[in-house]
Structure 1
């Protein structure tokens, strides 16, 4: 099994482009403070004009957001792409999209984000390029110091410490790590964006999804056959995923155990990534080891 192409490591002084491929920017104070974190590490940051553009719940019309992404990807000076926020919208800009058509030969660069940005991360993975599942520019400022340092360690080519979670048992497995937001990834099943899932370790997180909706999504994964050759599952935080009050329900933890516990693959839960803090940076498309007896996820970059 081959890992994907790693873009060149970043170093202070590199130019990074800020784009808004998904939801409309609302959290301006957090956005500004997160930009300062990047600048304080020595990076040159270029924010696209009209970063606060709105078209309904989207950060501008599809063609405008698509052009932002294409321009950043094709800019030879730009070494990385920072996403403002998630929400919804990145899937729309990937209709009739091809990374290969933007550069020939394709020139990889880091793309950084999570939540709705899952669509871009998975699309790049399918094109053979690694990216980073990590805080966006409206959430980075809320991260603890160790999580922020982990992001820069990843991008600048330093080793990453293992993450510790709750061991479900099932042994130790190695595979290509594929992090995502569960809801977004579920909606990519059976689309051209869905990558080959054979031999991967899926890493899932989510936010504000009631337990019955988590159940519905996991049941779709089971029925679709998409889990047939997955090697392991790493579960992050499922933030604010409680049932509505006064309605009979399982807890989200019970749903996860019920829908995943009989797959006979290694599973580790409660790992520190996802919505809320901390959201530990995870590379997409690199070899990882999941120890479901010790509850540890290790990155083998």
Structure 2
């Protein structure tokens, strides 16, 4: 993975564009609250045409959603891109970024490398866009979506707005599972989305990264299946450390004999000899502290911390 740079710090009055690259809008009230939070910080927030469209479970056709992304990227006044919600569909927009010949990823016609130097904010299905931006050296933010930000506690909101203002990020605290400490470039992701990016040009090189993963709605046996794929594909072979966020709505159904979420994670990850810190405050259905992609961090499994270098 290449080291990434954060975009220029945001200033009050800067224009932020809202796009819906994935699932169709379902949470109008939450969206309105999210827009107001960003506007209350002095930013101009404007929607790209088509954000409310629907094509089945997607927020419009691939061409329409791709046009939203391109509009935001090519607008010279736009300083940041706020993703409306997750769901599914982001990866579909990147098919025209991939080639069968080196380089494996290149920007579509009309998008220049400097166009990517904008704040990209989102998580969950937005993992695919965050990983794609990182391939061009831009540090997107694994951070609350417009439809989830209203549920964030004050510390998480302040962390996000400090980050986009160019201020250093404080240490995150969790529970260490042993393995010492490691430094590397931070690669946050939704586990399910990331698993389906393995082996594609969108996947960054994983050598030496601190992998930070979370998920939602995956039963323990499905988490087992996902992590087993990472193991069998060799994707974890050269990872430097693993930071675990929240795995929400992942409990087995009542009356269904199952390993617990923690038992699965410890079984599939605990024998890798890597520093692991669990219970870090990021992911779905709770505190979702911002994690920039491609910045240097230290993971300390003795102290249970994730610190930015």
Structure-1-length-normalised TM-score: 0.97
Give the deviation of 1:170 after TM superposition: 1.1
Distance 1:5 1:160, change over 3 A: closer
d(CA) in 2 for partners of 1:290 and 1:215? 24
Alignment of 1:42-53 (within 5 A): 42-53=42-53
Aligned to 2:120: 111
Contact 1:119–1:185 (8 Å) recurs in 2? yes
Aligned to 2:103: none
Aligned to 1:130: 139
d(CA) in 1 for partners of 2:207 and 2:147? 33
Give the deviation of 1:128 after TM superposition: 1.8
Contact 1:23–1:85 (8 Å) recurs in 2? yes
Aligned to 2:101: none
Structure 2: gaps (5+ residues): 98-105
Alignment pair present for 1:17 and 2:26: no
Aligned to 1:292: 301
Contact 1:73–1:102 (8 Å) recurs in 2? no
Give the deviation of 1:277 after TM superposition: 1.5
Alignment pair present for 1:237 and 2:250: no
Contact 1:126–1:196 (8 Å) recurs in 2? no
Match of 1:278 among 283, 287, 296: 287
C-alpha offsets along residues 14-40 of structure 1, whole Å, 9 cap, x if unaligned?
A: 000000000000000000001000000
User: Moved runs in structure 1, 4+ residues, more than 3 A?
Assistant: 98-105
Moved more, 117-126 or 47-56: 47-56
SS of 1:99's equivalent? Answer: coil
Aligned to 1:61: 61
d(CA) in 1 for partners of 2:67 and 2:220? 37
Give the deviation of 1:2 after TM superposition: 5.8
Distance 1:124 1:197, change over 3 A: same
Give the deviation of 1:11 after TM superposition: 1.4
SS of 2:198's equivalent? Answer: coil
Contact 2:16–2:80 (8 Å) recurs in 1? yes
Match of 1:251 among 260, 263, 267: 260
Structure 1: gaps (5+ residues): none
RMSD between aligned residues: 1.2
Distance 1:159 1:5, change over 3 A: closer
The total of aligned residue pairs comes to: 300
SS of 1:95's equivalent? Answer: helix
Give the deviation of 1:240 after TM superposition: 1.0
d(CA) in 2 for partners of 1:266 and 1:54? 43
Structure-2-length-normalised TM-score: 0.95
SS of 1:123's equivalent? Answer: helix
d(CA) in 1 for partners of 2:239 and 2:49? 42
Aligned to 1:203: 212
Distance 1:120 1:163, change over 3 A: same
Alignment of 1:25-44 (within 5 A): 25-44=25-44
d(CA) in 2 for partners of 1:236 and 1:102? 37
